[in-house]
Amino acid sequence: MKTLLKGGILGGLVLFAWGAISWMYIPWHLKVFNDFENEAAVTKVITAQAPKSGVYMLPGVAERHKKDDAASMTADTGMKAPLVMATVRLENSLPIKRLMINELIIQILAAFLVTALMARVKGVGYMGRVAYVTLFGLAAGIVSYLPLWNWFGFSLAYTAVAIADLVVGWYFAGFVIARVTRDKMA
C-alpha cells in the first residue's frame, strides 16, 4: 500500500505539473481551438435555448433517434450539418483554486491506479516500466479522443494535441512510477 500511495501521490503531482506547463506555457492547446465570429450573439442564443447546464448536441439526440429519421445517420446521407457538441454551464464556475484541487485529486487517483498495475509487472527493467506507463497514456488518449474525432468531428489537430499531451504527461509520470515500483519486480 505504501508503494501505491507513493506512486499515486508523486505520479499525480508530476501529471498535475505537466498539465500546468502544457496548458499555461506551451501554446499547442490554444492553437487548436476556434473562436466564434460573434461570441455575444452565440452566448445569447445558447442562454436562450439551453434550459439547464449539461452537454448538448445539434442535431438533438431525440431528433437523431426518431425512427423516421434513421436515414439521416446512414453512411450514404451523412449527418445533418452543422454538428455541434457543447458543454453548457449556466451557473458560475467553481473558483480556480477548487478546480485545481479537483484536478490534482483526479491525477493522483489515475497515477494510483497505474501504479497498482505496474506493481504487478514482473521482470521488466526501469526504462521498460517507463515505456509501459507511457503506453498507458497512449491507450488512454486513443480511447478518449479518437472517438470524439470519429463521431463528433473534433479536429485532427485538437485530437493529436490532446493525445500527445497525455502521452508526454504519462511519460514523465512513468519515471516516478517506475522508480517506486522497481522493488516489486520478481
Beta-carbon count within 10 A of 162 CB:
20
pLDDT at residue 180, rounded to an integer: 95
Query: pTM for this one?
Result: 0.83
Query: Strands, DSSP E only, in the chain?
Result: 54-58, 84-88
Rounded Cα distance, 176 and 95, in Å: 30
pLDDT tens per residue, the chain (186 residues)? 899 999 999 999 999 999 999 999 999 999 999 999 999 999 999 999 999 999 998 888 766 666 555 555 554 456 667 888 889 998 888 899 999 999 999 999 999 999 999 999 989 999 999 999 999 999 999 999 999 999 888 999 999 999 999 999 999 999 999 999 986 543
